[in-house]
Structure 1
Amino acid sequence: MADPSGTTGTGGLRRALTGRQLGMIGLGGAIGTGLFLGSALAISHAGPATVLAYALCALVAFVIAWALAEMVVVHPEAGSFGAIAHRYLGPLAGFVQRWTYWTIQAIAVGGEIVAAGLYVRFWWPQLPLWPLVVTFAVLALGTNALAVRFFGTVEYWLAMIKVVAIAVFIGLGLVLITVGLPRSPATGLANLTAHGGFLPNGLEGLFLAMVFVLFSYIGTEVVAVTAAESERPERDIPRAARRMVLRLVLFYVLAIAVVVAVAPWTATAQGGAVDASPFVRVVEGAGIPAAATIVNFVVLTAALSSANTNLYLTTRMLHSLAADRYAPAWAGRVSRTGVPRNALALSASGPGLAIALSAVTDSAYLALFGISVFGALLVWILILSTHWAFRRAATRRSPVRLWGAPVTSGLAALFLLAVLVSTAFIDGLDTAWMVGLPFFAVLVVAHTVITRRRSR
């Protein structure tokens, strides 16, 4: 338990995040722009069966979230699953997991900030991109530099916009499907079986869709990272994890069901731009003017919310690494308000590098994307491996227990491993192994060098 100052076991961080903020931060980290614009890639492989892909991948996300909740309630410390991996799997696992997570989230921050600039240019295409990117980067840094309670408030309202938008979309979509809207007749469910059937590309297409859909659930681990700054982690973390996963399932499955029912999947699969988003079609069908503008605003807030949360995650991971002397000691210092601003400044170099490289050459962007894919799957597999070691050690029984473990966690880990192997044979994801494996090797060598220097 924390002492009255609220900093015990947190490395100087303040326990100031409420249960309400934790829930929204979790959703904010998990729901990015992919649902609004990027779901077309999964639909192109599985057609209407993409709904099944989202439902099945939700089971994996639930296992990971619940395994994390079980461990974090016992160890609500800075560094979250990275620090717990250090405790149960050893220093190498903790080092690799935290630096990998820092890297993939830093890349994600850069990607979301660039995306936010592009969304603004939807309204004013004549604007140069770099001033917009710099502006959004400064806003994200400023929000994270202030007290964590302020960050929680900002992220709560940014995430709320996404949640309300998705809920309204689902509601309007269900009306459009069943009874129709003023400007559009009822679509019914014919689009679910037309154009090749419900599963047009067979089980292979469903599996390929699941590979892409799985990345929509990256961010379910966000709640665990906030444990060191939660007011009551033993109560709020399990509650936030359960609500977040259930809401993700509800939003993703229902939203995608509306998408594939409202428009032929062959048309949706060619989307990607704001104008082509099925969200725009539903809003237009409701007779609401400037549908594309409304959806673009929602997508813009989704990008800013994800960038804001991911920057928070990179900062806390770096702070944890500094506490274990695997990052510069000054990165572990906190301000009077309990914010690791030095770690924040160093984390800002991550999105800066991602932005610079993505602007210079496409091959650099593909390399960053490959590290992100490989790193995300590696982090999840290590989380489940840590949970297995945590259960085996049984030093303290958690009040929150993952049902069916270690069978459920083992099956989830095997699925993630299968996805990781399959990325080597999937166009667009084949850079994962080509770049991710050397990146992993560099981390192992770095850990060996640091360990030897410390032993001397």
Structure 2
Amino acid sequence: MDGFDKIQSREAGLHKKLTARQMSMIAIGGAIGTGLFLGSKFAIGFAGPGVVVSYVIGGFIALLLMGCLAEMTVAHPTSGSFGAYAEHYVSPLAGFLVRYCYWSSIVLAVGTEVTAVAEYMKFWLPDVAAWIWIAGFSAALIGVNAYSVKAFGSVEYWFSATKVFAIVAFIVLAIGMLAGGREAVPVAQHLTGQGGFMPNGWGGVWTGVIISIFSYFSIEMIAVAAGEAEHPEQAVRQAFKATVARLVIFYLLSLSLIVMLVPWKTLVADGTTSPFVTVMQSVGIPYADSILNFIVIVAALSAMNSMLYISTRMLFSLSRAGDAPAALGRIRANGVPLNALAVSASGIAVAAWVYVSDPGTAFPIMIALSMFGVLFTWGMIFFTHLFFRRRMAGRGAFLRFRMPGYPAGTLLGLTGISAILLTTWFIDIFHATLVFGVPFLALLVLAYGLRKARGKPAPDREARSGGIG
């Protein structure tokens, strides 16, 4: 046994219970969460109606990423995913950094989802303490993830199906309002009447791109979930095609309709937490805003559910590589690495503390802190893909799935992510991204160097496959 087979063998033991249908829903479900329903409000605040351009640029980068990742995942389906690819094709240090940066960003992103749920619940019950919602919903989803991967897949499928149905219904209703509503909607005025289509210029649109990347964050989870899929090659192919189509429909079309129906300053200034809810309030249909608020909550819970799953598997992969305590690589009889799940849920506690400290800025702070891991991971996926292709070409290997446009697409994606990461330094709300991220990366490099200096070998898989302890 040699090459990548060693990594796949090392990460064996998880149950392959996810169907292709569930995988397709997980792929799009992870990307339809707080980033779209709440994050879009912040993007509109910077870009105005030009937010559509922001999400087109961000969506293009996301699709390039999906192409690179789908190609590598079809060749090597494993739960370590892009962390394992970086380890094998770039260097063990690269794999170490990618896994920990991604894990930390996911753990913090879980916090953005749960704080968003607390915000959404204020729509109905403004006097109930936020920590009650945080604790209650968190306990429920941790329980789902602890039960089995099949339970996670089933819950996530129906969460995602609910979101898909709701956004389609929203799009149909919005188009109906534009085409044959009781009153003509002044679309041109909404798009250009408050400072123009791009009221803050290209700088505002580019800031919107940063937020759009956070919105698209989690589409990469399909690669991690492939390690527990019944038929990974078929599932990844289906998920890639579904993601391409649905991102265009759900993000670009829905955001275009929102800025056409309601003036962008109203969307930003409105007291509700989501532009979608603001639009529904303007419709005049009884309980329409409450119905959509429920959907928004489902979306946030769905993303949170997926992030708990993904962060658990990434920590499991770190343990199996010998880069985290051995106890985190142990699997229960139901196929769940329960210790890794418990540690990954720590992001909820961090989010609760940030939220209680300053509810008004909790969401932007959590975005800024988790953004470094997002951008570093995406950049490393593009970087790893270059090494992957070079190695495959050298071996004359046949690729069952090929990303169109290589190497231009890979290089373009890497350049875009690098530019976005550098831009965060110059934007106040994202300044913490590099302030937090660079020292964290340096600390990880130091930790890796110390581990190597001690010469600590990775424990055998069999020694870590027992019960929790």
TM-score by length of 2: 0.90
Number of the residue aligned with 2:388: 390
Counterpart contact for 2:277–2:293, Cα < 8 Å: no
Residue matched to 1:191: 190
- 1:275-294 correspondence to structure 2 within 5 Å: 277-284=274-281, 286-294=283-291
The change in CA–CA distance for 1:424 and 1:248 in structure 2 (over 3 A counts) is: same
Check whether the contact 1:40–1:270 (CA below 8 A) recurs between aligned residues.
Answer: no
AA aligned opposite 1:388: L
**Separation in 2, partners of 1:78, 1:249:** 28
C-alpha contact (below 8 Å) 2:111/2:347 kept by paired residues: yes
What is the CA distance between 1:309 and its match in structure 2? 0.5
| Deviation by residue 1:286-338 (Cα, 9 ceiling, x = unmatched) | 54212221122111111111110000011000110111110111111111121
User: Where does residue 225 of structure 1 map in the other structure?
Assistant: 224
Q: Which residue of 2 aligns with 1:129?
A: 130
Distance in 2 of aligned mates of 1:78 and 1:24:
18
**Distance in 2 of aligned mates of 1:412 and 1:228:** 25
Q: Identity over aligned residues, as a percent? A: 41
- Aligned in 2, Cα 1:418/1:272: closer, same or farther, shift over 3 Å? farther
Measured against aligned partners, the alpha-carbon deviations of 1:247-280 in whole angstroms (never above 9, x if no partner) come to 0121110001101110122322334624xx4433
Q: Which residue of 2 aligns with 1:442?
A: 443
Query: Are the aligned partners of 1:51 and 1:253 in contact in 2 as well (CA < 8 Å)?
Result: yes
Aligned residues: 446
- Aligned pair partner of 1:349 in 323, 346, 353: 346
Equivalent position amino acid for 1:402 in 2? M
Shift of 1:221: 0.3
| Counterpart check, 1:139 vs 2:140 | yes
Among candidates 371, 374, 379, match of residue 373 of structure 1: 371
Q: Which amino acid aligns with 2:215?
A: S
Name the stretch that deviates more: 92-101 or 391-400. 391-400
**What does residue 75 of structure 2 align with?**
74
Cα distance 1:383–1:272, how it changes in 2: closer, same or farther (>3 A)?
Answer: farther
3-state SS of paired residue (2:335):
coil
Does residue 296 in structure 1 map to residue 296 in structure 2?
no
Q: Considering only aligned residues, what root-mean-square deviation do their CA atoms show, in Å? A: 2.2
Check conservation: 1:40, 1:271, Cα contact below 8 A.
no
Question: Which amino acid counterpart does residue 283 of structure 1 have in structure 2?
Answer: M
Quick one: structure 1 residues 244 and 366, their matched pair in 2 at CA, closer, same or farther if it must change by over 3 Å?
A: closer
Give the match for residue 167 of structure 2.
166
Contact 2:97 2:441 in 1 (8 A): yes
Higher mean C-alpha displacement, 416-425 vs 115-124: 115-124
**How far apart are the structure 1 equivalents of 2:242 and 2:99?**
25
Q: Distance in 1 between matches of 2:73 and 2:254?
A: 31
Other structure's SS at 1:39 match: helix
Alignment partners' CA distance in 1, 2:207 and 2:279: 27
Answer yes or no: is the 8 Å Cα contact 2:34–2:215 preserved in 1. no
- What TM-score does the superposition give when structure 1 sets the normalisation length? 0.92
CA separation of 1:280/1:139 partners in 2, compared to 1, >3 Å: closer, same or farther? Answer: same
The answer (yes or no) to whether the contact 2:108–2:347 under 8 Å persists in 1 is yes
2:467 counterpart residue number: none
State the distance in 1 between where 2:116 and 2:200 align.
Answer: 31
CA contact (8 A) 1:9 1:77 kept: no
User: Aligned pair 1:212/2:215, yes or no?
Assistant: no
Q: For residues 250-261 of structure 1, what are the structure 2 equivalents within 5 Å? A: 250-261=249-260
- Shift of residue 116, structure 1, vs aligned partner: 1.6
User: Per-residue deviation at 1:281?
Assistant: 4.8
Question: 1:284 Cα shift?
Answer: 4.5
Deviation string for 1:183-227 (max 9, x for gaps)?
x54444442233333333333332222222222111110111101
Which amino acid letter does the alignment assign opposite residue 212 of structure 2? V
1:44 shift after superposition? 2.5
Residues in 1 aligned to 2:114 and 2:46: alpha-carbon distance in whole angstroms: 28
Report what 1:3 is aligned to. none
Q: How big is each residue's C-alpha offset from its partner over 1:119-151, in whole Å with a ceiling of 9 and x where there is no partner?
A: 223222222222221111111111101121111
Q: Which residue of 2 aligns with 1:106?
A: 107
Within the candidate set 303, 306, 309, 2:306 is matched to 309
Aligned residues of 2:115 and 2:362 also touching (Cα < 8 A)? no
* The 10-residue stretch of structure 1 (263-272 or 250-259) with the greater mean CA deviation from structure 2: 263-272
CA distance in 1, matches of 2:363, 2:160: 27
Amino acid at match of 1:60: I
Mark the CA change 1:267 to 1:21 in structure 2 (over 3 Å): closer, same or farther: same
Distance 1:223 1:172 in 2: 30
Distance in 1 separating the partners of 2:13 and 2:175: 48
Change (3 A) 1:119 1:44: closer
Give yes or no for contact 1:13–1:339 (8 Å, CA) kept in 2. Answer: yes
Measure how far apart 1:438 and its partner are.
0.6
Tell me whether 1:264 sits opposite 2:268 in the alignment. no
Matched residue type, 1:379: T
CA distance in 2, matches of 1:443, 1:272: 41
Return the alpha-carbon distance in structure 2 between the equivalents of residues 159 and 255 of structure 1.
17
CA contact (8 A) 1:143 1:150 kept: yes
CA contact (8 A) 2:28 2:242 kept: no
Give 1:328's match in structure 2, choosing from 309, 325, 329: 325
Q: Which sits farther off after the overlay, 101-110 or 125-134? A: 125-134
Label 1:222 to 1:445 Cα distance change in 2 as closer, same or farther (>3 A).
same
Q: Deviations over 1:102-124 (max 9, x none)?
A: 11111111221232233223222
Change in Cα spacing, 1:186 to 1:364, as seen in structure 2 (3 Å) is: closer
Counterparts of 1:31-50 in structure 2, within 5 Å, are 31-50=32-51
CA distance in 2, matches of 1:110, 1:199: 31
Q: Residue type matched to 1:104 in 2?
A: S
Q: C-alpha separation between the residues in 1 aligned to 2:277 and 2:219? A: 27
Q: Could you tell me whether the CA contact under 8 Å between 1:9 and 1:78 is conserved in 2?
A: no
Amino acid at match of 1:195: Q
Shift in Å, 1:368: 5.0
Matched AA of 1:244: T
Unaligned runs of 5+ in 1: 1-6
* CA distance in structure 1 between the partners assigned to 2:204 and 2:112 by the alignment: 27
> What letter matches 1:247 in structure 2?
R
